[in-house]
Amino acid sequence: MKVILFGGSGLVGTSILRNLLDKTEITKVQVVLRRSLGLNHEKLDELIQTDLSPQFIKNLDIEANIVVCALGTTIAQAGSKQNFKAVDFDLSYATAELSKKLQAKFILVSAAGADSNSFIFYNRIKGQLEEAVMRLKLNSLVIYRPSLLIGERSEKRTAERLGVAAYKVLKPILPKSLRSYLGTEVEVLAKHVVENIIQGETEEKILNPSLIRL
């Protein structure tokens, strides 16, 4: 099985990549990046493009059975709502268009609360992306909606640090049904994504936090 991964340098993408490379069922992992990860692995193929654009993504001449989109940023990181939308909608939608061209299964890492009518800009863009992707009528589509991501980031995000701290305190005492909406452990999410790839399920799915578990 050949996989192309977008967002392989981020928190979720890094974990997905590591799990993909560990699986014998996966023969090749192509990762589209702005800069090299500095990893050496016989199954890894880095496609470096410093000026990543929707057109570049849609025109990629590659072979893949699976396209995974783990692209994502924040308004603070992007610097403006427009720049945020350029990544979380424009680039992400282009990966879905590529998947349609390749007739490949598409896996999208979205977010809990995604809603095209939300008054929260982040959730609204995520919801608009999901709806646009579903209109493409892909051969196979799985959308993951994790809640607050629990994992080790290289950059510091104060609000997320507080959320992670609360998750760690409340995790032992909350039932799983509630715990999942408080936070989603990145490693669990990544393993779930990779298992879904290997199992080869083809139906359209939207997985909310309570369903992202091993």
- Alpha helices by DSSP H, listed for 5-49, are 11-22
Q: Which residue has the tokens 């025109």?
A: 59
213: left (phi over 0), alpha (psi -120 to 50) or beta: beta
CATH 3.30.750.24 fits 2-148+184-211, yes or no: no
The whole-model pTM stands at 0.88
Structure confidence at residue 167 (pLDDT): 46
Q: How is the beta sheet containing 44-48 ordered, strand by strand?
A: 44-48, 28-33, 2-6, 66-69, 105-109, 140-144, 205-207
The most confident of the ranges 24-28, 171-175, 196-200 is 24-28
Average pLDDT, the chain: 89
Q: How far is CA 8 from CA 22, 82, 120, in A?
A: 15, 22, 26
pLDDT for 78-126, tens place per residue? 999 999 999 999 999 999 999 999 999 999 999 999 999 999 999 999 9
- Is residue 187 predicted with pLDDT exceeding 90? yes
Residue 171 buriedness (CB in 10 A; 0-12 / 13-18 / 19+): middle
What's the pLDDT at 212? 85
Q: What pLDDT is stored for residue 152 in this prediction?
A: 73
pLDDT mean over 190-212: 90
Percent of the chain with pLDDT over 90: 78
Mean pLDDT, residues 46-57: 95
Asked whether the beta carbons of 112 and 208 are under 8 A apart, the reply is yes
| Residue 212 token pair | 């992202």
Give the pLDDT confidence score for residue 209 in this predicted structure. Answer: 87
* Least confident interval from 15-19, 123-127, 179-183: 179-183
Instruction: Enumerate the domain spans of the chain.
Output: 2-148+184-211
Q: What is the pLDDT of residues 141-180, one digit of tens each?
A: 999 999 999 887 555 555 545 545 544 555 555 555 555 5
